[in-house]
């Protein structure tokens, strides 16, 4: 069975990364993303606090080059101890 790719690469790919609010959360996640997407600019990360202020959501957009790149980034983010959810 021929499996058709849902995405065409390269493409702009947005991610939401959520975790407990922490002073180093944004910079730490920026470093993780940069390891998987060399052209990523961490200054483009936008943040949003939860209503209660306990959690922080980061909007990260990369120029994805392959499914393997996205899979590697997703695995690195989901395994990171500061991260609760990646969408």
**Domains identified in the chain and CATH numbers:** 11-86 (3.30.70.260)
Sheet strands side by side (includes 11-20): 46-49, 55-64, 11-20, 83-86
Q: What is the pLDDT of residues 28-60, one digit of tens each?
A: 999 999 999 999 999 999 999 999 999 999 999
Q: Is 39 helix (H, G, I), strand (E, B) or coil?
A: coil
What phi-psi label fits residue 38: left (phi over 0), alpha (psi between -120 and 50 degrees) or beta?
Answer: alpha
pTM, to two decimals: 0.91
DSSP string, 12-35: EEEEEEEEE--TTHHHHHHHHHHH
Report the pLDDT averaged over residues 11-26.
97
Report the pLDDT averaged over residues 77-85.
98
Length of the chain: 87
């Amino acid at each position: 069975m021929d499996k058709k790719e849902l995405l065409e690469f390269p493409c702009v790919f947005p991610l939401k990364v959520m975790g407990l609010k922490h002073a180093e959360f944004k910079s730490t996640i920026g470093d993780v993303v940069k390891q998987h997407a060399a052209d990523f600019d961490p200054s483009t990360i936008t943040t949003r606090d939860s209503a209660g202020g306990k959690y922080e959501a980061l909007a990260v957009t990369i120029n994805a080059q392959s499914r393997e790149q996205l899979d590697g980034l997703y695995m690195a983010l989901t395994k990171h101890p500061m991260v609760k959810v990646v969408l």
